Structure 1
Amino acid sequence: MTIALDRHPSIILQGGQHAGVRRWLWAVAALVFVMVVVGGATRLTGSGLSITEWKPITGALPPLSAEAWASEFAKYRASPQYQLLNQGMSLGEFQFIYWWEWGHRQLGRFIGLVYLGGFLVVAGLRLLSWRQTLVLFGMGLLLGLQGTIGWIMVASGLQPGMIAVAPVKLTLHLTFAALFFASVVAFATFLTPPRRAEPAQGRGMAWLLLALLFGQIALGGLVAGSRAGFVYNTWPLMDGALVPGVETLFVRPAFWENFVDNAALVQFNHRIGAYLLLALALWHMLSLRRAAPGSGGAKRATALAGLTLSQAVLGIVTLLLVVPLWAGLAHQALGFLVLAMGVVHVTRNEGASRG
């Protein structure tokens, strides 16, 4: 992901000038990475609907008395998820899922404060050009939008008859998290002077791989939202075939609903996306290693291909084991590491193309 800015001469001539800004951005990226992992744990433990209200300020305080816990538990018992899925849950079991969701929301608040504080310092001290500062402001709006989407997602799971959040809204929540994460990694990479000058290599393929990475993350969100990883737990065959029959892939009355709510088609699309992404990543690596062995682009392409291969293997293991918590979290975490590598690769290539 390229930051469309003027490349400030001081970025190249004085590598240490923006060291503080870079450290802040990398810290934000690390926090978002942790947030994604905690979000995955919240989803896999079924904790996401345990807090039924959105109170951005007062919601930061957890229940501090027996009466407060009883009140929160009463609100949850009124939710469709409790009534349809978790009837008879004890207070202790409720507290377990509550703390996961509460921790997820507090980490989101903390990220917002860290980002806002850093932005105010950058803007107040004029550490960057006005265009770069404006981009940081836009990224802050994206972060705020992500929080709003998170609540819209939770609200979808509190509707009558729902026992989980809507898959499309979960996918939007994950995809916007990926967009913000990618923008932070891109900006931090942009501000980091390259160790040596290098020509732009494989720019088109680098961009294509990045687009496919975002697509795979979105497809992964649909897999998570529809719980498609808990069915068809064989590989390489799926439902006894490499390509399941039409009667399996298209069972919903409305054609488009199959791409969201039909676990078979959702999982199949995620598999096909993984195959395509891995094949192109390996081809990109081999092309750059032949054209410019030892170059920065070839090394980045090799790292990207290696991470993509590792993610594919981990995805297969996760599927075969029927998504244990550790594997599901590792798969989601590694997916964001692959995304980070893809962003760095594109940003470095674009920087080289501008000289």
Structure 2
Amino acid sequence: MKDNPNKAIAIWLYFGAFAIFLQILLGGITRLSGSGLSITEWKPLMGFLPPLNENDWQLSFDKYKQIAQFHVVNAHFSLEDYKSIYFWEWLHRNWARFIGLAFIFPFLYFVIKRKMSLRLLFPISILFLLGLLQAVIGWLMVQSGLNDTDISVSHIRLAIHFGAAVILLCYTLWLAFTLSLDHIKMRHRLRFSTLNITILGILFIQLIYGAFMAGTRAALAAPTWPDMNGFIIPPDLQNHPLNLVFLTGNLLAIQFIHRALAYIVCILVLVLYVRSVSWKINSLLFYIRLFPLLLVGIQVVSGITALLKSIGPHYSTFALFHQSTGILLTISLLLLLFLNLKKN
């Protein structure tokens, strides 16, 4: 980014993207640790403070005791147990606040110092709107579990929250790529942007089904591989009308679709790589084209491992690693697409 007038803005966006990536991982930890419903109120401004004394802690715990998750899942909890799950939800929310401040204050600085061109104001405004929308979606997701019947949040809302985070991350990175990589002259390009876009689209749907898997613990419905409880296609899928409610709510259907999409993505990434081998390309694309191939391999292996370990004590570790490699695979394909679409 030498002599690039937008260098500082690009660095700011890359930092923001990294913070969003960490937030996605924190969201995964919050979900896997069962912490997401521990804070039953949404206070965007004053909520950054945790309970400051024992009375405040007890008051917060008493509010948690009013929802079904406590009565059905965590009735044995002491106050200390509650504090342990409170921490992850509190950290997840406060990291979101930090991201907001990390975007707002540098933005104001760039505007006041006139270091940001007018053409960037609109795309940056869209970025802020996406961030605000994500916060609202997050609270609506939490609300779905704050009642006396549900022991967890709606897996549909969880998937929307996760999908919105992925879109926010990709949008932020695309802006950063535009400001930091657009000056690079590509001697040769891999002219298969349609395939690249197709893979990204299918991968996004697969990530959504990954959120369904996490939200419903669908791995427990068939913790076997390569078969699903002894079947290639579970009988439930063959004998049931394949409507939207079934395909997004039945545990075996969710897992089957997640697996099938994983195989499709893996094959298409391999096709992408094979087609790129015949091209004489510059060093940047030569190395970047390897990342999707490497990451999709890791993603498949980590997914199988997480599935087989779903009834074991280390499931959360494997599941979180699987989630992180899925995001990294998305980023690698996004970067490859940008370099293929950019104008010399």
Unpaired runs of 5+ residues, structure 2, are: none
| Paired residue type of 1:134 | F
Normalising by structure 1, report the TM-score. Answer: 0.90
Q: 2:335 matched to which residue of 1?
A: 344
Indicate how the Cα distance of structure 1 residues 100 and 62 shifts in structure 2: closer, same or farther if over 3 A, else same.
Answer: same
SS at match of 2:206: helix
Indicate how the Cα distance of structure 1 residues 200 and 125 shifts in structure 2: closer, same or farther if over 3 A, else same.
Answer: farther
Matches within 5 A, 1:295-306: 296-306=284-294
SS at match of 1:134: helix
Unpaired runs of 5+ residues, structure 1, are: 1-10
Answer yes or no: is the 8 Å Cα contact 1:198–1:296 preserved in 2. no
User: Which of 176, 187, 197 is matched with 1:198 structurally?
Assistant: 187
1:88-147 Cα distance to aligned partner (Å, 9 max, x none):
311111000001100110001000110111222233333343222210110111011001
Residue 129 of structure 2 corresponds to residue 138 of structure 1 = no
Matches within 5 A, 1:215-234: 215-234=205-224
Give the deviation of 1:195 after TM superposition: 4.6
Matches within 5 A, 1:69-148: 69-148=57-136
* Identical residues among aligned pairs (%): 32
| Paired residue type of 1:230 | L
Partners of 2:210 and 2:3 in 1: CA distance: 38
Indicate how the Cα distance of structure 1 residues 250 and 83 shifts in structure 2: closer, same or farther if over 3 A, else same.
Answer: farther
Indicate how the Cα distance of structure 1 residues 15 and 276 shifts in structure 2: closer, same or farther if over 3 A, else same.
Answer: farther
Indicate how the Cα distance of structure 1 residues 287 and 260 shifts in structure 2: closer, same or farther if over 3 A, else same.
Answer: same
Answer yes or no: is the 8 Å Cα contact 1:219–1:266 preserved in 2. yes
Answer yes or no: is the 8 Å Cα contact 1:41–1:329 preserved in 2. yes
User: Which of 248, 272, 289 is matched with 2:277 structurally?
Assistant: 289
Partners of 1:258 and 1:126 in 2: CA distance: 53
Residue 318 of structure 2 corresponds to residue 335 of structure 1 = no
SS at match of 1:210: helix
Q: 1:54 matched to which residue of 2?
A: 42
Q: 1:165 matched to which residue of 2?
A: 153
| Paired residue type of 2:187 | E
Q: Tell me whether 122-131 or 47-56 shows the greater mean CA deviation.
A: 122-131
Give the deviation of 1:250 after TM superposition: 6.2
Partners of 1:317 and 1:59 in 2: CA distance: 38
CA root-mean-square deviation: 1.8
1:214-262 Cα distance to aligned partner (Å, 9 max, x none):
11211111111111122311111112122222x25666x8932222221
Normalising by structure 2, report the TM-score. Answer: 0.93
Q: 2:315 matched to which residue of 1?
A: 324
Matches within 5 A, 1:187-266: 187-193=175-181, 195-201=184-190, 202-245=192-235, 247-248=236-237, 255-266=243-254
Answer yes or no: is the 8 Å Cα contact 2:195–2:272 preserved in 1. yes
